[in-house]
């Protein structure tokens, strides 16, 4: 009985001369005549939460989909821990340790929390070698409880069906599901959309927990309040270009809004 899926990579949080966990350089992507991404650079470090903001059609989703392998960029390079890689399918990105939590959650409502967390990679117990192996429910349940505890996710019971959980709890389960695969980078697409105040709080807490574990986290959100509450850096996209980055602590929301809308306010270029 190992702790293999619980031991989440603990990276050193020391900043400075670090190599980004995930880096995109000079990414271009066109759909027919529309240039969705124009020479975009992007980087996220371990133990850092980056907020990716921008108006609808600014290219946020295209950029995230480039990272998750749903789109292949026309130009540019992708580096994981400084090494150039090619991501041409979602499987590639999963293999490289990049996990995406989509808006529609991808949970099975009829299954309980344990079953959802382990879906597709269930633990087994061999009854007759080579012939019959059954689900190892005990081991899966034990590790589920452990993972949820390390992430400080609170749910009534790991055996309750996901349908009976609140939106925030479901979002947390969706994130915890990716954590079981020990990713390096977690991409969250609108993690707080359609959540209540308490639930949003719970999800933001979870994001902080991921940062403490040394993961690189990218959050796409329209909700600047949430972005300001949880991120270290904010990257603003507009019309397919990265037009500004801010250090969250030293920035006001007016500056970010101005960058998003393209209003002419002094932009404090940081990175």
Partner 1 sequence: MKSLDNDAHPSSEEQAIAPQLGAEGSPSQAPTTVRFNLRSFMRGDLGFIPVILTLALITIYFQVTTSGVFLQARNLSNLTQQIVVISILSVAAVLVLLLGEIDLSLAAVAQACAAIMAVVSVYQNWNPWLAILLGLVAGAVIGLINGFFVAVLRVPSFIVTLAGSIGYAGFLLLVMGRQTTLIVRDDTIRSLAPTFLAPWLGWVIPFLLVGLYGLGVWYERKRRSQAGLPLRSSLQTAIQLGCVLAITVIVVYLFQSYQGVPQAVLISLGLVVIFWLLLRKTTFGRHLYAVGGNAEAARRAGINVVGMKLTVFVMASTLAALAGIMLTSRSTAVATQVSSTLLLNAIAAAVIGGVSLFGGRGSVWAVVLGALVIGSLDNGLDLLNQDQSIKSMVQGGVLLLAVTADALVRRSGLRTGR
Q: Which is nearer to partner 1, 11 or 111 (CB)?
A: 111
Residue from 131, 197, 249, 264 binding partner 1 (CB under 8 A): 197
Distances (CA, A) of 10 to 14, 86, 225: 12, 25, 28
- Determine if 41 is a binding residue for partner 1 (CB under 8 A): no
Residue 29 CA to residue 240 CA, distance in Å, equals: 9
Is the Cβ–Cβ distance between 224 and 24 less than 8 Å? no
Name the strand (E) or helix (H) holding 38.
strand 34-44
CB of 27 or CB of 175, closer to partner 1: 175
Compute the distance between CA of residue 107 and CA of residue 117 in angstroms, rounded to an integer.
9
Tell me how long the chain is.
Answer: 271
* Residue 103 CB-density burial (10 A; 0-12 exposed, 13-18 middle, 19+ buried): middle
- Encoding tokens for residue 188? 């969250």
For the chain, how big is the Rg over CA atoms in Å? 19
> Residue 73: what are its φ and ψ, rounded to 5°?
-70, 150
Contact flag: residue 270 with partner 1 (CB under 8 A): no
Binding flag, residue 95, partner 1 (CB under 8 A): no
Tokens of 227: 């972005």
Name the one range near partner 1 by CB under 8 A: 6-14, 76-84, 101-109, 230-238: 101-109
User: Residue 76 Cβ, how far from partner 1 at the closest point, in Å?
Assistant: 26
Residue 171 three-state SS: helix
CA distances from 16 to 45, 46, 215 (A): 11, 12, 17
145 lies in the site for partner 1, by CB under 8 A = yes
Q: Which of 129, 198, 249, 264 binds partner 1 (CB under 8 A)?
A: 198
212 to 251, contacts with partner 1 by CB under 8 A?
222-226, 228-229
Compute the least distance from the CB of residue 15 to partner 1, in Å. 26
Nearer to partner 1, 24 or 175 (CB): 175
* Piece of the chain touching partner 1 by CB under 8 A; list 5-13, 42-50, 198-206, 241-249: 198-206
Cα–Cα distance, 271 to 253 (Å, whole number):
18
* Residue 253 touches partner 1, criterion: CB under 8 A: yes
Please select the residue that binds partner 1; options are 15, 26, 88, 110, rule is CB under 8 A: 110
CA–CA gap between residue 217 and residue 21 (Å, rounded):
10
Query: In 3D, which of 201, 193, 244, 230 has the Cα closest to residue 54?
Result: 244
Report in angstroms how near the CB of residue 20 gets to partner 1 at its nearest: 27
Q: Is 208 in the site for partner 1 (CB under 8 A)?
A: no
In the complex with partner 1, the residue whose CB is nearer, 46 or 51, is 51
Binding site for partner 1 (CB under 8 A): 1, 104-111, 115, 119-122, 124, 133-135, 137-139, 141-142, 144-145, 148-149, 154-158, 160, 163-164, 197-198, 201-202, 222-226, 228-229, 253, 257, 260
């Amino acid at each position: 009985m190992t702790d293999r899926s619980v031991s989440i990579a603990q990276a050193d949080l020391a900043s400075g001369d670090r190599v980004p966990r995930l880096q995109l350089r000079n990414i271009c992507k066109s759909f027919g005549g529309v240039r969705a991404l124009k020479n975009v650079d992007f980087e996220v470090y371990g133990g850092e939460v980056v907020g990716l903001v921008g108006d609808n059609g600014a290219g946020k989703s295209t950029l995230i989909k480039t990272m998750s392998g749903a789109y292949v960029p026309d130009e540019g390079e992708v580096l994981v821990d400084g090494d150039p890689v090619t991501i041409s399918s979602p499987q590639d990105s999963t293999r490289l340790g990049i996990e995406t939590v989509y808006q529609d959650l991808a949970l099975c409502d009829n299954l309980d929390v344990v079953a959802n967390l382990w879906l597709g990679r269930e633990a087994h117990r061999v009854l007759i070698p080579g012939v019959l192996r059954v689900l190892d429910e005990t081991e899966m349940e034990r590790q589920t409880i452990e993972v949820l505890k390390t992430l400080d996710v609170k749910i009534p019971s790991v055996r309750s069906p996901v349908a009976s959980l609140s939106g925030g709890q479901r979002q947390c389960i969706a994130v915890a599901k990716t954590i079981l695969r020990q990713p390096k980078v977690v991409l969250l697409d609108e993690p707080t959309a359609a959540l209540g105040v308490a639930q949003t709080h719970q999800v933001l807490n979870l994001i902080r927990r991921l940062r403490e574990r040394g993961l690189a986290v990218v959050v796409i959100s329209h909700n600047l309040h949430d972005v300001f509450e949880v991120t270290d850096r904010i990257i603003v996209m507009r019309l397919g270009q990265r037009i500004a980055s801010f250090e969250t602590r030293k920035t006001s929301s007016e500056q970010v809004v101005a960058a998003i809308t393209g209003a002419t306010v002094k932009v404090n270029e940081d990175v």
